[in-house]
Amino acid sequence: TQLLEQSPQFLSIQEGENLTVYCNSSSVFSSLQWYRQEPGEGPVLLVTVVTGGEVKKLKRLTFQFGDARKDSSLHITAAQPGDTGLYLCAGAGQAGTALIFGKGTTLSVSS
Amino acid sequence: KAGVTQTPRYLIKTRGQQVTLSCSPISGHRSVSWYQQTPGQGLQFLFEYFSETQRNKGNFPGRFSGRQFSNSRSEMNVSTLELGDSALYLCASSWRDRTFNEQFFGPGTRLTVL
C-alpha cells in the first residue's frame, strides 16, 4: 500500500518567516501534486512535479520533487496571512490508479 | 468556465437514514472522483467514475455507492448512516487521460449525522 506522510502536521508562524513542508514516501510516484485548501472550500491545485529533481516556483512558493521521485517539499518564503490553509500533497502511481493523498499540513500565518 | 458544483452544501441526517449527494463536473471532464475528508483521517478516496464506469474504488464499506450519468454528472449514496459518516464529502473532476489526473475539486457537502 502506497502512503504519503506529511510533516509537520501543524505549523504556526509569524508573517515574514520562511517555512518548509515535507511529503515523504517509500514508494515511487510518476508525479506529485500539491494542493491548498482554505476553510469551507475544496482543495485547489498549486503545482504538479513530474521529473526527479524538478524544481518549480510559484511566486513565493518553491516546490521540489526528490531525485528518486519518492518525496517532495514545499518552501514558502516570507509567509503572508493569505498563505494560511491546509497544504496537501498527492502522488500519482501507475496509470489508471487513484491519487494517494497525504494527511496535510495546516499552516497558520499571523500578522 | 464553470467549476465543479456540489449539492447540497450542507446536510443533517439521523442514524439509519440514507443520503444522496450530487456532483456536476467541469464541462469536458469525464472522470469524477469522490473523497471523504475528516480531521482525523484526512482526505480518503471513495471511488472514481470514468465514462459511467467505476474505475477505482477505495477501502470503504458497501454502504457507500455511486454512479455516473452519460453527461458525466455523478451521484454518491450512503445508506444506513452511522455517526462516523459525518464528514466533508468532496467531489473532483479531471481530464484523467490527458494529464496527471490533476483534480479539480468542488466546495464539498458537509454531512452531519445525529
**B101, pLDDT greater than 90:** no
The HSE-up count of residue A54 (CA atoms within 13 Å, CB side) is 14
Q: Is B43 on the interface with A (CB under 8 A)?
A: yes
Q: Which of A44, A45, A104 sits opposite B42 (nearest CB)?
A: A104
Strand partners, B104: B93
Q: Look at residue B40 and give its three-state secondary structure.
A: coil
Q: C-alpha grid cell for residue B103?
A: 483534480
Q: Look at residue B22 and give its three-state secondary structure.
A: strand
Task: Give contacts of A102 with chain B, Cβ < 8 Å.
Answer: 42
Q: What is the pLDDT of residue A1?
A: 65
A17-42: pLDDT as tens digits: 999 999 999 999 999 999 999 998 99
Q: What is the pLDDT of residue A3?
A: 87
CA angle B114, B47, A7 (to 5 degrees): 80
Q: Is B106 on the interface with A (CB under 8 A)?
A: yes
Q: Look at residue A37 and give its three-state secondary structure.
A: strand
Q: C-alpha grid cell for residue B41?
A: 483521517
B47-74: pLDDT as tens digits: 999 999 999 999 999 999 999 999 999 9
Q: Which of A42, A90, A102 sits opposite B90 (nearest CB)?
A: A42
> Would the CB atoms of B106 and A42 count as touching at under 8 Å?
yes
The closest of B107, B92, B66, B81 to B12, measured between CA atoms, is B81
What percent of chain A is modeled with pLDDT above 70? 98
Q: How far is CA B105 from CA A90, A107, A110, B4, B29, in A?
A: 13, 20, 27, 6, 12
Q: C-alpha grid cell for residue B9?
A: 452544501
